[in-house]
Chains A and B, each alone.
Chain A
Amino acid sequence: MVDKRNSNTSGSLVVKFASIREISILGFLIVFSLVISLINPVFISLDNLYDIALDTAILAIVAVGQMMVILTRGIDISVGAGIGLSGMIVALIIKDTANFNPLLAILIGMIIGAAMGALNGVLIVKGNIPPIIATLGTMNIFRGLTFIINYQINGGQWVGADKLPEAFKNFARGTFLKIPNLILITIIVYLIFYYFLNHTTTGREIYATGSSPESAKIIGINVKKTIFLTYVITGILVGMAGVLWVARYTSAQTDSASGFEFTTITAVILGGVAVAGGSGSIWGVLFGAILIGAINSSLNLIGVSPFWKLAINGGIILVAVIIDAVLARNINKALKERKQI
């Protein structure tokens, strides 16, 4: 793997492989959509596409953070619990206050998220704790805190739709220039992070760190700072997603988004991001997230029992990873042959 990345001759092929991955998942998405809409034309209707987009928005936002963490060879298992915690805190702050500015609520969520991400980052970078363990620990802590805060402040009651301010609930349903707010936010996030990851020094440093931490250190990249940064950014996105979650589903529950970490990791892997770090593109992740949304929506439309949802999600990621591995192996073979020539 290492010599593949370091040799110049293979560079272009690896890049080609990455773009092939994006095209293949986009192709799969299109074929899948066509098949489903042949079975049930409702799938391709504007209303349904709109619903898919709304349902995918939060997943897509968090997946960007998860992707950056995985790029640096890490993983963040605390995202689901983080969404629950930031959503709960913000919901408790804004409940019973009419006309609380939704944007301010999102900002508060992002600050809470940044703190959560910084905690993860400090434990991983300063404490030398492997990411999977550190975030497994903070996942338990965040989820526990959500219960306790909810219990102490709200007596263990969920914050339901009746308690949330009108302006806040309207925000998730609202549109700006005819684009739904949730989708608009997702587009902005993707544009910002496309620029950040591909056209800024820090963004490229994230790729370099994941590709080979040792080499990155040698060429003068502050690896620890870069890794810390990815967790803070993920935290900010998670904090934002927590508030959007409350707005979208108009309730803050103590078990909101439990298991969501696995969905985000699925989206990232489906999108072709290498778990070994260092390669993957933001558009692949977006397609991965949309594919998950499309699959979930299609199950209802073609009359498959919702109990199939989990098995199909698991099956698809299994197949995607296996195809990926076989492809990568063939490419490696091709590279070896080229070297011999």
Chain B
Amino acid sequence: MMDMVKKNNRFKSVFSRWETMLFLIFIIFNILMSFTTPYYLNAQSILDMTFIFMEKGLVALIMTLIIITGNIDLSVASTMSLSSVVMAVSFQSGINIWVSVLLGMLAGTFCGFLNGFIITRLSLPSMIITLATFSFYRGISYVILGDKAVSGFTEKFTYLGQGYIGSTKIPFPLVVFIVLAIVFSLVLHKTFMGRMIYAIGWNENSCFASGIPVKKIKLILFTLSGFISSFAAMFLTARIGNTRPNLATGFELEIITIVILGGVMISGGIGTMPGVIISIFLIGTIRYGLGLNNIPGQIMLIISGALLILSILINNIVKNFSKLKPLRQ
């Protein structure tokens, strides 16, 4: 027992450091950026820039839980595309927009459920199954919509992705994100469910042996992943105002980058929600700041790749040079 308590403290000390480091990078980056363009440090532009990465942020929240259990969901972006396409097609056929949204989200939730069902029923690695459904779901989007695009959604719908709260200048998606971020943080850090999620990431077999409903939790998480993905897809569709089958291409890798950069261990068991939330804003502001400075998106690719590698490399180096024993063997 004592050993366990000690271990827990050690995590806290190491990873509170990781989050502080991330936060410092975030602050330093913002200060540097405000020197480069006078337009940067402006309350309105800071609020507005959250529009462009809230969808990824929403999915990153659920991805965090999934990665902490030692699993991964590569199909999130394809699920986003499929649910958006289902929504658009039903809208086009004359169904009320909100009913269409509901249908799209049902489709997305079912995608997530199917992932979870196959993974838990056959005890298969989530990476392989979601890799298959990654092609499968996006393939179905292509089958449904081909090379067409759907646009012309009603204004009430586009409000989801473009609107502000009342007469204030606070973006609606930002508020939704903050609410969900708080909910997810509470679930992960303050509930029994959250403890079970960590436990599964540490050792799935012993969790199973000690009576934790491992399969049920995994099924719930993957279904929830489908649900949140389709939810985010509605915001994305509303923001850009149209839908194509190639919607959100490459989002899965970007979302995983955000989660890993936030201090979550890909092998599971380690990571915190605040870290991921800081990471969402860090990646978002880097993208926005570079855009303001006319730096092409391709450089952003290199930076996010390098950040991903460095975030783990620095962590490992710190571990090697500190007096602490390695965290995981």
Contact = CB atoms under 8 A, between A and B. Distances in A.
Interface in A274-308: 275-276, 305, 307-308
Contact of B309 (A137, A145, A147, A314): A137
Nearest to A127: B313
B257 interface: yes
A28 interface: no
Contacts of B138: 310-311, 314
B132 A144 contact: no
21 contacts: A127-B312, A132-B266, A133-B309, A136-B253, A137-B257, A140-B253, A141-B306, A143-B298, A266-B132, A276-B125, A307-B142, A307-B146, A308-B143, A309-B139, A312-B139, A314-B132, A314-B139, A315-B132, A317-B132, A322-B118, A326-B122
Contact of A311 (B127, B140, B257, B302): B140
A167 interface: no
A140 B296 contact: no
Interface in B247-306: 253, 256-257, 260, 266-267, 296, 298-302, 304-306
B316 interface: yes
B322 to A, nearest CB: 15
A314 to B, nearest CB: 3
A325 B305 contact: no
Interface of B: 72, 118, 122-125, 127-129, 131-140, 142-143, 146-147, 245, 253, 256-257, 260, 266-267, 296, 298-302, 304-306, 308-309, 312-313, 316
B16 to A, nearest CB: 22
Nearest to A129: B312
Contacts of B139: 307-315
Q: Name, among A129, A138, A139, the residue most crowded by chain B CB atoms within 10 Å (CB to CB).
A: A129
Nearest to B118: A322
Contacts of B300: 144
Q: Name, among A129, A139, A140, A315, the residue most crowded by chain B CB atoms within 10 Å (CB to CB).
A: A140
Given A127-B316, A147-B301, A311-B135, A325 B123 contact: yes
A144 B305 contact: yes
A262 B137 CA distance: 14
B298 A147 contact: yes
Nearest to A150: B298
A141 B180 CA distance: 32
